[in-house]
Amino acid sequence: MKEVSPRKQELVLSYRHPVSGEVEELVLKVDEGTGLNKGTRLEDFKEGDPVSVDYEENPSQIPRAVQVKRVATSGVPDEIAKFRL
């Protein structure tokens, strides 16, 4: 997560493009339909948080975040750990 703007209801992601290797930014709109971690508000995210984001692109609008989850940078996420053998 590069930037969170609760007032503008936007978040900015910074990522390395898998093909070009260039660092790029993606601005996403957040609305009442955006899913967040249980008990989490947009204001709880901060710069540098590692996140997983599902989003949808809309013609002539900025993309909309569908789901935003804070993820662990080490270990196995709870969602996956329950499937371990």
The model's pLDDT over 56-79, given as tens digits with 9 standing for 90+, comes to: 998 889 999 999 998 877 766 666
The pLDDT of residue 18: 87
Q: Where are the domains of the chain?
A: 3-81
Tally of CB atoms within 10 A around 27:
14
Answer positive or negative: Cα dihedral of 14, 17, 20, 26.
negative
What is the DSSP secondary structure assignment for residue 75, as one 8-state letter?
S
Q: What is the pTM of this model?
A: 0.76
